[in-house]
């Protein structure tokens, strides 16, 4: 029995190490209240840590995607599609007591057991959750149509303020006027994934318009494989070297 216990412990440790090796090294951004730690996970999923709070964004990939990561205090979900709303992942995680900020369309698809944890906001609305100001930003396809993959008003992008630093999470969107109108964004996560969001050229053009200090291209696996994030970086920095483009491996298993 002791041998089995030792072997089980060694296996669990090896699994933890494997997940840690696959995961990107976290980045840090200074705020007025300590460091904001940014941990890319996969595709459109990431974890933010700040002021002893752990924030999961669009958690997917099952519990194993979060091996070694603290359980969430706050969960943000942008849209109803499976690469953003994964009920299986939520069920596998320790989400008890976590505040969940979601659009109405997501709330409508969540099981009853989560209803008491929800804060539902729509485009243009703002709340404060765990002392973090959060504003919902539209995310949608252009041209607007009733049968588009992402209709205006269904999903939310988000702007969060961490100790004076504004972090923008685009969700599934194109370079819409509401994105281009953003001001004072310190860190931006911008999707590029044809045919669901926008291509590299559109994403670079939108970023050059609202000029975040740091930008992470994410959610960039398209039907033809992976988007050319090096081209995105080159296009942005050819016209504005002040925008820091951070490239991370959002698909470590591929």
Q: What is the pLDDT of residues 193-206, one digit of tens each?
A: 877 788 999 999 99
Q: What is the pLDDT of residue 18?
A: 43
Check residues 241 and 2 and name the one with the higher pLDDT: 241
The Cα 123–Cα 44 span in angstroms is: 19
Q: What is the pLDDT of residues 1-55, one digit of tens each?
A: 444 444 433 333 343 444 444 578 999 999 999 999 999 999 999 999 999 999 9
How much is the pTM? 0.89
CA–CA distances in Å: residue 100 to residues 76, 97, 111:
6, 9, 13
147 confidence band (pLDDT: 50, 70, 90): low
CATH number of domain containing 87: 3.60.15.10
Residue 212 lies in a domain: yes
Residue 55 lies in a domain: yes
- The strand pairing partners of 53, in sequence order, are 50
Residue 252 lies in a domain: no
The tokens describing 6, both together, are 């030792």
What range defines the domain where residue 59 resides? Answer: 2-245
- Structural domain total, the chain: 1
Q: Is the pLDDT of residue 254 over 60?
A: no
Parallel, antiparallel or unpaired: strands 74-76 and 99-102: parallel
Cα–Cα–Cα angle for 197, 199, 203, nearest 5°? 85
Percent of the chain that is helix, strand, coil (3-state, to 5): 25, 30, 45
Residue 165 lies in a domain: yes
Check residues 148 and 154 and name the one with the higher pLDDT: 154
Residue 254 lies in a domain: no
Q: What is the pLDDT of residues 93-135, one digit of tens each?
A: 999 999 999 999 999 999 999 999 999 999 999 999 999 999 9
CB contact at 8 A, 240 and 208? yes
Cα–Cα–Cα angle for 179, 221, 249, nearest 5°? 95
CB contact at 8 A, 190 and 203? yes
CB contact at 8 A, 74 and 48? no
Residue 101 lies in a domain: yes
Residue 37 lies in a domain: yes
Q: What is the pLDDT of residue 159?
A: 98
Residue 209 lies in a domain: yes
């Amino acid at each position: 029995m002791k041998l089995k216990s030792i072997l089980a412990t060694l296996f669990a440790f090896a699994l933890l190490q494997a997940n840690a090796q696959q995961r990107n090294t976290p980045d840090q951004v200074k705020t007025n209240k300590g460091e904001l730690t940014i941990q890319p996970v996969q595709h459109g999923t990431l974890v933010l840590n700040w002021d002893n709070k752990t924030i999961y964004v669009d958690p997917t990939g099952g519990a194993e995607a979060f091996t070694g990561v603290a359980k969430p205090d706050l969960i943000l979900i942008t849209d109803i599609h499976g690469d953003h709303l994964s009920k299986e992942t939520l069920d596998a995680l320790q989400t008890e007591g976590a505040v969940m900020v979601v659009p109405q369309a997501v709330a409508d698809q969540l099981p009853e057991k989560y209803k008491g944890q929800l804060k539902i906001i729509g485009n243009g609305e703002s709340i404060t959750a765990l002392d973090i100001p959060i504003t919902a930003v539209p995310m949608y396809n252009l041209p607007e149509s009733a049968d588009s993959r992402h209709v205006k008003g269904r999903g939310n992008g988000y702007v969060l303020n961490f100790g004076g630093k504004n972090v923008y999470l685009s969700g599934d969107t194109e370079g819409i006027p509401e994105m281009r109108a953003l001001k004072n964004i310190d860190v931006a996560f911008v999707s590029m994934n044809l045919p669901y969001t926008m291509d590299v050229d559109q994403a670079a053009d939108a970023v050059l318009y609202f000029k975040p200090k740091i930008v992470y291209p994410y959610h960039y696996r398209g039907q033809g494989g992976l988007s050319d994030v090096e081209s995105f970086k080159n296009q942005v920095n050819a016209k504005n070297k002040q925008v820091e483009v951070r490239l991370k491996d959002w698909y470590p298993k591929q």
